[in-house]
């Protein structure tokens, strides 16, 4: 991320509210958010982190898209325990950027 923190640090510390501005992502890992989000707001914020990352790493997003055809066009996250996960975020971004725009 632009401030040198990882997406995991942003998500656990800031979005889930365990140490805003901090770096100890382990504080929130596996725990529910301390912030009472409505609807899919927490997912949208997590997806926003991946969108920022994607802007700074667009060549990796395109490379991932190109490699997907060898894997039945499917992304999975074997460590995911909820629907807020890296594979879903990247699949959403690829669908928005590559498939919807025809790039």
Over residues 15-47, the pLDDT tens digits come to: 999 999 999 999 999 999 999 999 999 999 999
Residue-range domain boundaries for the chain: 1-36, 40-103
In sequence order, what DSSP letters do the residues of 53-95 get, joined into one string? HHHHTHHHHHHHHHHHGGGTT----TT--SS-SHHHHHHHHHI
Q: Quick one: pLDDT at residue 76?
A: 83
**Mean predicted lDDT score pLDDT of the chain:** 92
pTM here is: 0.88
Q: How far, in Å, CA of 45 to CA of 63, rounded?
A: 24
Structure-model confidence comparison of residues 100 and 93, the more confident one: 93
């Amino acid at each position: 991320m632009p401030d040198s923190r990882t997406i995991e640090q942003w998500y656990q510390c800031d979005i889930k509210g365990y140490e805003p501005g901090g770096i100890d992502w382990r504080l929130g890992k596996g725990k529910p958010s301390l912030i009472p989000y409505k609807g899919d707001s927490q997912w949208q914020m997590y997806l926003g982190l991946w969108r920022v990352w994607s802007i700074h790493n667009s060549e990796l997003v395109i490379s991932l898209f190109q490699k997907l055809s060898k894997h039945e066009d499917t992304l999975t996250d074997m460590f995911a325990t909820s629907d807020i996960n890296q594979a879903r975020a990247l699949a959403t971004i690829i669908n928005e950027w590559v498939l919807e725009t025809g790039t």
